[in-house]
Amino acid sequence: MNVVLFQSHEKRSDGTVVLSDRRAVHMDRVLRVQAGQWVKVGEVGGKLGRGRVVEHSPERTVLRPVLSESPPEPSRVGLVLALPRPKVLRRVLRAATCFGVKRIDLVNSWRVEKSYWQSPVLEAESVNQVLRESLEQAVDTILPEVRLHRFFMEFVGDELPDRTTGGPVFVAHPGASTELPVCLASPCTIILGPEGGFVTREIDRFVDAGAQPARLGERILPVEAAVSAVLGRALKARTVVVQ
């Protein structure tokens, strides 16, 4: 936990925030805070800053936040992912959030097991917990928007075409004749398939909607590795621009 996050409704009328959950435990056992000490804090959906420890005990911490810093710039990349296995989904959401992705669409596919959609990992509380923990790692305050799309054709026909107006849309496909750009310098959307890849007719539907097939390299990567590879290209592009 590199930043202690709180929500606006947790602020009391006197401007302090009382923590009595895992955050208080972390500050006691890991940060070993004492009254008067300052810690890195942020308001979910708002700014970052510092919080002065007003009171502290092993079970309860009272902070007085002073927020003045903007959260880091979000990633230029939006992700569309065929719903992965629940265990993998947690890792994918964590990686994407740490890279600064702010829109993640989880879609159905021929090779997505129907049981995945019944997983408790998809419950709003579970997803939000993973996202919050990832923001705490990355020192960010803006939660990504995670949307579920159980009907493949509905997503491709109704929502995907809107993405092409905001930048290129690439669908990762090992059989593509071109490779995904090494530096993703402009806003774009990347579509990644399930472990076995999209079937041919799904690739055709993506192309009809304006997506461009592109391979990530010579190797076929598992989903979590593919997400990191794609977002690393966007991070590299940003670094090049800054220099």
Handedness of CA 44, 46, 49, 53 (dihedral sign): negative
Domains identified in the chain and CATH numbers: 4-69 (2.40.240.20), 77-242 (3.40.1280.10)
Please check whether residue 164 is in contact with residue 209, taking contact to mean a CB–CB distance below 8 angstroms.
Answer: yes
Please report, in tens digits, the pLDDT of each residue of the chain (243 residues total).
Answer: 899 999 999 999 999 999 999 999 999 999 999 999 999 999 999 999 999 999 999 889 999 999 999 999 998 899 999 999 999 999 999 999 999 999 999 999 999 999 999 999 999 999 999 999 999 999 999 999 999 999 999 999 988 887 766 788 999 988 888 888 766 667 889 999 998 889 999 999 999 999 999 988 787 888 999 999 888 877 655 544 333
Helix segments in 118-222, DSSP class H: 124-138, 152-154, 160-163, 200-208
Residue 73 has which token pair?
Answer: 């710039």
Give the closest residue to 86 by CA, choosing from 46, 130, 33: 130
Give CA–CA dist 71/73, Å, rounded.
7
Give CA–CA dist 160/164, Å, rounded.
7
Give CA–CA dist 99/144, Å, rounded.
11
| pTM (predicted TM-score) | 0.89
